[in-house]
A and B are shown apart, each in its own frame.
Chain A
């Protein structure tokens, strides 16, 4: 068996990530109905737009009548005096028709855009609020395709489909009433026509919505692949595997094409039937009508009028094809949208938050019997953290040491509730962190991640991320603690734009900026996850010296791999099997714990050097 990236895209994880609808039945328009609150403010505009569209159609109908009058009147009578009023009426009605066309569009143009923007904004804000655990699962391409393509679909629905559904259905109903009044027998033919039409639409809906959904999911998968291909470009280039991924991409793109073609076939078939149905009705009406006229039951004029109206009804019926397709696509898109909007916000502020006691002598961080299991971990797998106890006294620094994958980073993520503990509790100054307002907690706890993230903003703004109102002096101080004075050498100093849309920095530079960001604003609790890993030795020594001053007054949870970093802490905790296996000073643990020695002793190297 060969393992290729091609398979990657079809692994169960991705399918899960695309959030396919589980047991939900595809025929429901519930999601569509749920758009109502967003649409409600513009509903009168939609209705107005539909109304004007209807009036415009009426104008369109009046024009032939005027033409007929001109032909029957002035021209046949060869009397041009009557021509001018009719001609002017014609111009006016023509302008009115055109004008109403414009009015109907202008009425909804901006409001529909605003609805779309609002929905997108809501989605974005929801995504920012959703817990990290949610984002672990959902591929960002799927989220992006919801924010862009799906909302686009919904907007088009509002601006066109919804209006024409209203217009065309009312046109159809009005038309049928006129037909019935002209000849109830003939009219009945068109009433009967509605029956297969409705059945057909229901059948179509079941089939089409599944396809629409599949195609939208595939669009999301493609977006995911594109994103990965760009973010991973260095790896792909380093291994020359672009072509390999290209193949996987092609396969995905072909799958999307296949779905789209299936959709086209279904729509094509629907369309054929929808076009044929009124024609059959007209054919039948023709048979009946001509017979009625021949029998003298119907005047020839009435029959002409009947067909005139019947022909006018063809468009509302024919258009049902794309209206239905668009409606189903929108229903599927709305489904996808609400799937994300419905995700529970599991990490939230409590209803009645407790405030932290005033900060003098504060920052006592306590882990009490903390257990944590990643949401999707099968039960037989053991917890990532299993009954961890650890106390950090105010102003003290505790280094946590453990093997790769022992759960150190997981532990740090619990302190500011990126994840919530699944058992036990974490307290700061005696308050369970879940009883704190989330912003308060996250102001109190500052983190430097092991993989530093910079945003597309100036260096200064990146450092000020958690404290936008920090003074320049504070920023300077933070930068000097992190030995990040290299920012002065950047082209525009502190105002240099960084991040993806700006200057790219080396790993060590990013790490120092992230450290500066974390120490800014004197947090109650500082969490540093392997903060010096990418620094060269001289810089590391300088940062350590500067950090030491900060650490004497700040409660710090310090994750470390190297003895030199561990030395920054007063106490060291050894993390093993999800709990603290040993606690003491560095030299104590070196003396007492074989595991610890194994983890931190560098003798192996020095010995080799000596040889």
Chain B
């Protein structure tokens, strides 16, 4: 839309060199997300802060007690009084112990906060990616979602696990020490604060530079992951067509680019930390020299200068930790930019806010005035009207690309029409909750994806509350039970990733059983029998006859054998219905279906 929206969502993902304003918006967005994530843990954070303060106090007490032991206890002991020494030692041990316990408490607290934030974020990203529509996933690729949920999350966990420590301890020391310095000697303290100006300068430099490089690392690691998963998922083709070396080259490029970006970051960081250190040391030298002059001129006590210098040193030590924190923070910001972008994507097919209840769908489907295009400007369905009375079985036929699958996807609400509406029993699909929608409409496609897990689990996906008997019955009905019983553990056999343990036809049968078990009012079959042998297909059809009784069904198939069980046939061409009638009428006619049917009869030999 308008250009100032172009950074929204995942749009700006593949650019590292963003306009300054856009970059600022992205960073603001990721920080906003970080705040939202941290908010529920305010109390724990405060507690962690208190623990750190206690730790610092205990740590400060140690040297004082040693000083006391040497300055006071030794002379006392020489005088025969051992008590100060005993107290000093007991005090020292107590301080050490408190410090140790506080460290333990802090580690646990920080771990808990960090893990809670990560868990929260994981859930958000997972749920949101599930909410996003199929059209989004088709463009975004699985590898990228995986990289958002793995390597990007790793970057954030680095921040929350180690960064929290650096931030809390570092910031606390710097603030306390800076305050002390100002109190000790105002002019000198102000001089120290002057050192903050170059510090700010180099930090800005590092901020701008690192965020750009970190964006690059995020993009390259995503490319690495995309290539990695694509290779593993297509391994048979990779090996068969000897694509290994070409793949290795592609992977090497992304992998190197990632290493290079990471190296760039490390080099920037290797320039940033010494800069901080050198600024600290120079201001130490400046303060020493000026302080010396002031002491010599009688404007300052020598003891104050000593303390001042010691404290100054203490201020710049934790600066390193702050720098480390800042580094992880930048890395996490870049990761959060990507994640918050994903989270910001609006589902193109959203759940209704106020769903209309449809507890007992009958299966009366009406598409009225629907038009639809996948890409703006290329209309796939120009003004499409269709009414399917409850209980009717229709067959959709037509050449490849006619728009049959598109109709199926609209009826099962994988997409929403650009104009017009699709209704089930008079309710717009857009007003149905997921539960009601899927009780109403279920689609089986030729892509029969199985999840790793048992056969029974995969069938149960159709209706998780189904009993084992119902699951086995569903398999029985479509003729899948026979092969399932022959598997090593029957219904409990692990089908392995993508169902690799089964043959393609067997997977399709399981997918059918799943759909039958779901028991929807409207069943859509989009070329769902393509990989079946003829007897299996026949068995499925026999099952369909009984299952489809009283149920609305839309069947898309190239083998017109399936059409025989339809009450009505629609022939589609270029997104329009060009013939509509009972199978018998159309076969006896002279239209396209009659031709198609004749051709199919010939193909049977």
Contacts and interface: CB of A to CB of B under 8 A. Distances in A.
A526 to B, nearest CB: 12
B252 interface: yes
B269 interface: yes
B322 interface: no
Rank and list the top 10 A-B pairs by shortest CB-CB distance, nearest first: A94-B281, A279-B96, A8-B453, A264-B111, A13-B494, A404-B505, A240-B438, A105-B270, A109-B266, A102-B274
A53 to B, nearest CB: 12
B4 interface: no
B37 to A, nearest CB: 14
Interface in A564-611: 564, 567, 586, 598-602, 604-606, 608-609
Nearest to A461: B246
A508 interface: yes
B419 interface: no
A128 B248 contact: yes
A268 B97 CA distance: 14
7 contacts: A3-B456, A5-B453, A98-B274, A101-B270, A230-B129, A268-B108, A290-B77
Contacts of B115: 257, 260-261, 264
Contact of A404 (B104, B464, B483): B483
Interface string B444-467: 111101011110110011101111
A538 B598 CA distance: 11
Given A110-B263, A442-B242, 5 more contacts: A261-B111, A403-B536, A413-B236, A455-B237, A534-B530
Nearest to A128: B244
A50 B184 CA distance: 38
A74 B452 CA distance: 78
Contacts of B400: 506, 508-509, 535-536, 539
A293 B96 contact: no
B112 to A, nearest CB: 7
A267 B107 contact: yes
Contacts, number: 542
B527 A534 contact: yes
Given A238-B444, A533-B531, A279 B464 contact: no
A75 B296 contact: yes
Interface stretch (A199-207, A356-364, A444-452, A547-555): A444-452
A465 B454 contact: no
A294 to B, nearest CB: 4
B270 A418 contact: no
Q: Chain B interface secondary structure, helix, strand, loop or mixed?
A: helix
Interface stretch (A33-41, A134-142, A169-177, A182-190): A134-142
B150 A235 contact: no
B150 to A, nearest CB: 5
B243 interface: yes
Nearest to A443: B242
Contacts of B18: none
Contact of A240 (B252, B271, B434): B434
Nearest to B142: A230
A58 interface: no
Interface string A1-33: 111110111011110010000000000000000
B243 A241 contact: no
Given A67-B309, A239-B514, A604-B538, A109 B225 contact: no
Interface string A83-103: 110010011011101111110
A532 to B, nearest CB: 10
A106 B313 CA distance: 25
B605 A125 contact: no
A110 B302 CA distance: 47
B558 A272 contact: no
Nearest to B154: A149
B101 interface: yes
Contacts of B101: 272
B504 interface: yes
A404 B230 contact: no
Contacts of A404: 483, 503, 505-506, 509, 531-533, 536
B483 A245 contact: no
B547 to A, nearest CB: 16
Contact of A224 (B129, B258, B452): B452
Nearest to B149: A226
A117 B282 contact: no
B38 interface: no
A352 interface: no
A500 B126 contact: no
Contacts of B421: none
B15 interface: no
A267 B447 CA distance: 48
A327 interface: no
Interface in B107-138: 107-108, 110-112, 115-116, 118-119, 122-123, 126-127, 129-131, 134, 137-138
Interface string A257-300: 10011011101110111011011101100110011011000001
Interface stretch (A248-256, A390-398, A428-436): A248-256
Interface string B587-605: 1000000001001110111
A279 B292 contact: no
A71 B503 contact: no
Given A109-B270, A223-B150, A245 B130 contact: yes
B460 A3 contact: yes
